[in-house]
C-alpha cells in the first residue's frame, strides 16, 4: 500500500520543498572571500584564504598547525600514511606504509574513515561499538589488544558529532604504545573533558582530521584539514599534498606525492563559514533537543552522549527504536522489506514515510564489518572475536552492537534551516508510523 493512501497518515501534507538531511547554509561572507580570490587572481592552491582558514581553524580547535586539503578523505589518507611511516619507516614508492600490519578501526562509521588503511596496504581490524555514545568500544579495544598485541595504530571516528570515550581509549593506546588517527570529520566544534580540561575533537589524537564536505557543520563545498601540534608532521603533510617537491630548480622527487591541497576558492567559502560555526552548532543542538522532547512519548531514544564528559556538535539527530517496539524488517545487500504492526515501527517504515512526505532521512552507517568489501576482515567485540560467535544452540549468543544500532536506528532530517513547524511535522509523521 502507498503511504499516502495509508489511513494512519490522513490529513498530513507533504513538504512543498524537500526537507533534506543536512545541506550547506551560506551567509554571504563566503561570496566576498571567493570574489576576493578571483579579483586578486589567487585562483590556485595558494592564497590568503588558505592561510586564513588554516590559522583560524588551528586557533578554534586549539592545535598549533592546520594543513588545508582537498577533502577530509585526503586528510585521513595522509594522516594514516604518516602514522604508518612513523611506526614502520618509509615505504617504497609502490608500497603503502602499513603493508603487513593490522590497524584497529572504528566499525560504525563512513568508509572514508578507514579506507586509507587499505590505501596504505594495511589490514583493518574492526572494533565494535558501545551503546553510550555509539563510538569505538574501549572494552572491545582491550580485547583486540589481547588478540593482536602487536598492533600499534588506532583509527577512530566521533559518530554524528558525538565524542567517543577518549579518556579510556587514549589510556589503552598509551599502555600499548599505539598511535591514534582521529577522524573528527563529523564533529568539528564538539568538545571532550580530558583530565579536567575541555579539548576540541580534532585535538584528541596523534594525527587529526576534519572535513568541509557539503553536508558538514560548516562547509567549503568540499575540503578537509590535517591538524597537529607537530611542526614536522604539518610540513610533511603539506609537502606530500603538493606533489612532494624538493627544493631543486626543477621537479625533483624523493617521495611519492599527491595533489591534495585545498584550492583558494574553496578556502574562501570555508573562511566565510568559520564565523558561523558556533551558531550552526546551537541550531543543531536545538533541533536535537526538539526531537528529544517531541519523541519522548514514543518507544524510541535519541542518539546518546556523555553529558558530563562531552558536548557534541549535534551534527545529525538520530533515533533508535526500542527492541520491543521494532516491527519486522529484513535487509538484503541492496533491498529491504518490512511489515507494519500497530504500536510498532521500523527504520525503513519511517524512512519511507518521510520520503513520501518529501523529507530525507537515512539509515545509520552500515558497520564496516558487515560491508561486503571488508567481509574477510577481523571484527572484535567486548567478548573477543566477533566473527563466528553465533550458535544455533545458544540463544542470544554473538554480541554485535554496531549491527544492532544499524538495524534499529536512523538519521532524522537535521538541516539547520528547518523551521520548528517543519520539524513538528516530521515528529508527527514518526508518531503516525507507530499507530
Ligand atoms: C566520518 C567521516 N569520515 C570521513 C569523511 C570524509 O570526508 P570528505 O567527504 O571531506 O572526504 C566523512 C564525510 O564525508 C565522514 O563522515
Query: Looking at ligand 1, which residue's alpha carbon is closest to its atom 9?
Result: 213
Q: Are the beta carbons of 192 and 198 closer than 8 angstroms? A: yes
29-274 maps to which CATH number?
3.40.640.10
Mutate to test the pocket of ligand 1, among 107, 207, 209, 211 (most ligand atoms within 8 A of CB): 211
With 80 as the cut, is the pLDDT of residue 2 above it? no
Give residue 396's pLDDT: 65
Average pLDDT over residues 358-366: 98
Give the containing element (helix H, strand E) for 210. Answer: strand 207-211
| Contact 213 CB / ligand 1 (< 6 Å) | yes
Q: Report the separation in Å between the CA atom of 409 and the middle of ligand 1, taken as the mean of its atom positions.
A: 20
Q: How confident is the model at residue 388 (pLDDT cuts 50, 70, 90)?
A: confident
Q: How confident is the model at residue 314 (pLDDT cuts 50, 70, 90)?
A: very high
Burial (CB count within 10 angstroms: exposed 0-12, middle 13-18, buried 19+), residue 343: exposed
From 114, 278, 111, select the one nearest 182 (Cα to Cα). 114
**Residues in Cβ contact with 287 at an 8 Å cutoff, skipping those fewer than 6 apart:** 314, 317, 414, 416, 418, 423
Which residues are bridge partners to 221 per DSSP?
213
Q: How confident is the model at residue 1 (pLDDT cuts 50, 70, 90)?
A: low
Average pLDDT over residues 83-104: 97
Q: Report the separation in Å between the CA atom of 434 and the middle of ligand 1, taken as the mean of its atom positions.
A: 33
What crossing angle do the helices spanning 277-294 and 420-433 adopt, rounded to 10°?
40
Q: Report the separation in Å between the CA atom of 139 and the middle of ligand 1, taken as the mean of its atom positions.
A: 26
Cα–Cα distance, 179 to 48 (Å, whole number): 33
Helices (H), ranges, 24-137: 29-39, 48-61, 72-88, 115-119
Map out the domains of the chain as residue ranges: 3-24+277-373+396-433, 29-274
Classify 402 as helix, strand or coil: helix
Span 218-266, pLDDT tens digits: 999 999 999 999 999 999 999 999 999 999 999 999 999 999 999 999 9
Cα–Cα distance, 82 to 90 (Å, whole number): 9
| Overall size of the chain counted in residues | 435
With 80 as the cut, is the pLDDT of residue 350 above it? yes
Span 95-107, pLDDT tens digits: 999 999 999 999 9
Q: Report the separation in Å between the CA atom of 251 and the middle of ligand 1, taken as the mean of its atom positions.
A: 32
Q: Report the separation in Å between the CA atom of 227 and the middle of ligand 1, taken as the mean of its atom positions.
A: 15
Query: Looking at ligand 1, which residue's alpha carbon is closest to its atom 3?
Result: 113
CA-112 nearest atom, ligand 1:
4
| Contact 187 CB / ligand 1 (< 6 Å) | no
- Largest Cα separation within the chain, whole Å, is 74
Q: Are the beta carbons of 131 and 382 closer than 8 angstroms? A: no
From 185, 158, 160, 183, select the one nearest 317 (Cα to Cα). 160
| Contact 183 CB / ligand 1 (< 6 Å) | yes
| Contact 108 CB / ligand 1 (< 6 Å) | no
pTM above 0.85, yes or no: yes
Classify 380 as helix, strand or coil: strand
Q: Report the separation in Å between the CA atom of 178 and the middle of ligand 1, taken as the mean of its atom positions.
A: 23
Give residue 147's pLDDT: 97
Give residue 397's pLDDT: 65
Give residue 333's pLDDT: 92
Span 406-418, pLDDT tens digits: 999 999 999 999 9
With 90 as the cut, is the pLDDT of residue 391 above it? no
Mode of pairing for the β-strands spanning 329-331 and 318-321: unpaired
Give residue 393's pLDDT: 78
Give residue 392's pLDDT: 73
Query: Looking at ligand 1, which residue's alpha carbon is closest to its atom 10?
Result: 72
Other CB atoms within a 10 A radius of the CB of residue 8 amount to: 15
Q: Are the beta carbons of 78 and 70 closer than 8 angstroms? A: no
Share of residues in the chain with pLDDT > 70 (%): 99
Fold of the CATH domain 3-24+277-373+396-433:
3.90.1150
Amino acid at each position: 500500500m502507498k503511504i499516502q493512501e495509508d489511513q494512519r497518515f490522513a490529513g498530513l501534507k507533504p513538504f512543498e520543498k524537500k526537507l533534506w538531511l543536512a545541506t550547506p547554509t551560506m551567509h554571504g561572507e563566503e561570496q566576498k572571500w571567493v570574489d576576493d580570490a578571483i579579483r586578486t587572481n589567487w585562483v590556485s592552491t595558494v592564497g590568503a584564504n588558505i592561510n586564513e582558514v588554516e590559522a583560524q581553524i588551528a586557533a578554534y580547535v586549539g592545535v598549533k598547525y592546520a594543513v588545508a586539503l582537498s577533502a577530509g578523505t585526503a586528510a585521513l589518507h595522509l594522516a594514516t600514511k604518516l602514522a604508518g611511516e612513523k611506526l614502520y619507516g618509509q615505504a617504497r614508492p609502490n608500497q603503502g606504509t602499513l603493508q603487513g600490519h593490522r590497524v584497529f578501526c572504528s566499525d560504525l562509521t563512513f568508509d572514508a574513515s578507514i579506507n586509507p588503511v587499505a590505501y596504505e596496504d594495511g589490514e583493518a581490524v574492526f572494533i565494535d561499538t558501545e551503546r553510550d555514545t555509539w563510538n569505538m568500544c574501549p572494552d572491545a579495544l582491550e580485547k583486540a589488544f589481547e588478540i593482536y598485541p602487536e598492533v600499534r595504530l588506532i583509527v577512530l571516528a566521533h559518530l554524528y558529532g558525538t565524542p567517543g570515550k577518549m579518556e579510556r581509549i587514549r589510556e589503552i593506546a598509551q599502555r600499548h604504545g599505539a598511535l591514534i588517527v582521529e577522524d573528527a570529520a563529523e564533529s568539528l566544534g564538539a568538545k571532550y573533558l580530558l583530565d579536567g580540561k575541555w579539548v576540541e575533537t580534532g585535538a584528541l589524537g596523534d594525527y587529526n582530521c576534519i572535513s568541509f564536505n557539503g553536508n558538514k557543520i560548516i562547509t567549503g563545498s568540499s575540503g578537509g584539514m590535517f591538524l597537529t601540534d607537530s611542526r614536522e608532521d604539518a610540513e610533511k603533510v603539506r609537502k606530500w599534498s603538493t606533489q612532494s617537491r624538493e627544493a631543486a630548480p626543477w621537479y625533483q622527487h624523493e617521495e611519492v606525492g599527491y595533489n591534495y591541497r585545498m584550492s583558494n576558492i574553496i578556502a574562501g567559502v570555508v573562511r566565510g563559514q568559520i564565523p558561523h560555526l558556533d551558531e550552526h552548532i546551537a541550531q543543531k543542538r536545538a533541533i536535537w533537543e526538539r526531537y528529544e522532547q517531541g519523541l519522548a512519548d514514543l518507544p524510541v531514544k535519541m542518539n546518546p552522549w556523555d553529558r558530563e564528559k562531552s558536548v557534541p556538535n549535534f551534527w545529525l539527530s538520530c533515533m533508535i527504536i526500542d527492541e520491543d517496539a521494532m516491527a519486522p524488517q529484513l535487509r538484503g545487500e541492496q533491498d529491504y522489506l518490512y511489515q507494519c504492526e500497530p504500536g510498532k515501527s521500523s527504520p525503513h517504515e519511517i524512512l519511507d514515510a518521510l520520503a513520501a512526505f518529501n523529507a530525507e532521512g537515512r539509515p545509520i552507517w552500515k558497520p564496516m564489518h558487515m560491508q561486503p568489501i571488508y567481509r574477510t576482515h577481523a571484527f572484535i567485540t567486548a567478548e573477543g572475536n566477533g566473527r563466528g560467535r553465533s550458535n544455533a544452540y545458544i540463544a542470544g549468543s554473538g554480541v554485535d552492537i554496531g549491527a544492532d544500532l544499524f538495524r534499529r536506528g536512523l538519521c532524522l532530517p537535521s538541516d539547520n534551516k528547518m523551521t520548528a513547524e517543519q520539524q513538528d511535522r516530521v515528529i508527527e509523521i514518526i508518531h503516525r508510523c507507530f499507530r
